[in-house]
A and B are shown apart, each in its own frame.
Chain A
């Protein structure tokens, strides 16, 4: 197997550590003397990821996830702040870091499409200085690992999106990095390819390598990442385990009541039920949905039904607070 190279467990240095990272992009509209627009992609990110763990970074489009990953993988300099990977400064010690980190940006680009997957991997194996005697075996092993053995000698332009994604991952792990950055590895993939990619990521975790995974798919983060942070508008708005984040937004349990409108006094009655930490009202066409987060087990669906008499089309259901609920709550709070 093409195993990755875990760091020594002896080390206490976090695999990834950032302190007050900011990044401002400037773009000019028009030619030469056009107006300069400044965009703050990151606004003081503090983050620490333990060695050998997989850490999820959740956030909506434009939250700054890719910017942070590019800074950590030495492809972008921060405007201010410090970022350390394996205890080394990403802005100053790029030569030391680059052979030790892997980056998977994914997408349709980033590969030499007119040549085969094997030739793409040979090229990058040479750039990473993989010993010539090991190169072919290493390539064979990663191709097998990502499931591209059969199509290794086909031109990449003939590949599906999912196959290209696998090739991106193969390239990312070919040199056995100690830290791997996976930027939205399943974005745009069909469900089958996405599932295969997640399976592959899980297998990488078992190798003990440190992985930073960015995604905006909640189930993916929940499935793969024991710990995660939510990034919104360039700031980390929360960081915890999935259970911890559920607690942060008001509890594990969520009760929903849906009908053709509620009166204010009914909403207030529900708000006063035992254990209700948060209540949000949303309109869905002619219907209204009240979503309640509960910290305790006291209030049940029966209590909610009893508090809302006279609604012939009332629907009440209970579910576990999902990571998506947590995410939406936190991102909306940040936006507000």
Chain B
């Protein structure tokens, strides 16, 4: 009898992907250095920008700069990770392996969440050092938990970007055009309610908008935001994130089928 092949495990595929992402990141100064320098710059700029703007300006500065740093790292990085696979020519052998590709993407996204949090931590330290004291956060544990959750909402958008990268090498175009529009539109630096009203429904399509609003409700007493309160924000964030993950899971298989039909996996 022929020996049966080993069974590919989804969790091992995700772990392997996370590990290779970490190793590639550590090996490449192109990523390592900016990911440490950019949060320092963002932190100092946000500190100066919000200085004196009310009693909770430190929290505003940390959230603004932290999100700005993590935005690129988590969302942009998740899409670009697949772009890199195209560039390296590793997309073909990875897709040809028995592990469903979406679990490999998940590993890439998780790594970007971790590195995004690292950037957030640097921002926190920079702002605290600049201010000489930590910000007054009413619920520090809830703040950290929600902060991590915001990362996952960003990652859920990142997975969809990743699917676009599998679909076509021209996805960089979408990301480059959309990066700052998404960044401002989802309220990373400033609350979305400060933007023209017509932008609000568009912003609410994105999970991070809800999660960030919830984070501000939690950490800034008296914050008004969209006006419907903390828990509706949480429900909206969870709901939209689940929808994004559901869409990603559904379209990944179709995207893979489409690229096999189109034959553009080796293009970069």
B145 at interface by CB-CB < 8 Å: no
When chains A and B are docked, how far (Å) is the Cα of A107 from the Cα of B89? 10
B23 engages A127 (CB within 8 Å): no
B3 at interface by CB-CB < 8 Å: yes
A126 engages B16 (CB within 8 Å): yes
B8 engages A128 (CB within 8 Å): yes
A131 at interface by CB-CB < 8 Å: yes
Q: Contact string, B63-103, partner A, CB cutoff 8 A, digits 1/0?
A: 00000000000000000000000001110111111110000
Besides A25-B263, A128-B98, 8 new A-B residue pairs in contact (Cβ under 8 A), listed by A number: A7-B2, A70-B263, A109-B90, A110-B93, A112-B20, A123-B19, A175-B5, A178-B2
Determine the main DSSP class of A at the interface with B.
loop
Q: Contact string, B1-30, partner A, CB cutoff 8 A, digits 1/0?
A: 111011111001101110110011001100
B97 touches which of A76, A110, A128, A131 (Cβ 8 Å): A128
A330 at interface by CB-CB < 8 Å: no
Which of B8, B27, B97, B265 has the largest number of chain A CB atoms within 10 A? B97
A76 engages B2 (CB within 8 Å): no
A129 engages B92 (CB within 8 Å): no
Contact residues on B (Cβ < 8 Å of other chain), bracket: 35 or more
Determine the main DSSP class of B at the interface with A.
helix
Q: What are 18 pairs between A and B in contact, CB < 8 Å?
A: A5-B5, A6-B2, A7-B2, A70-B263, A73-B96, A76-B263, A77-B260, A77-B261, A99-B7, A105-B93, A109-B89, A110-B93, A112-B88, A127-B12, A128-B6, A128-B8, A128-B98, A129-B6
Tell me the smallest distance from the CB of A51 to a CB of chain B, in Å. Answer: 10
Q: How many chain A residues touch B (Cβ–Cβ < 8 Å)?
A: 44
B96 engages A74 (CB within 8 Å): yes
Chain B residues with CB under 8 Å of chain A are: 1-3, 5-9, 12-13, 15-17, 19-20, 23-24, 27-28, 88-90, 92-99, 104, 257, 260-261, 263, 265
Stretch of A57-65, A114-122, A275-283 at the chain-chain interface? A114-122
Chain A residues with CB under 8 Å of B27's CB are 114-115, 155
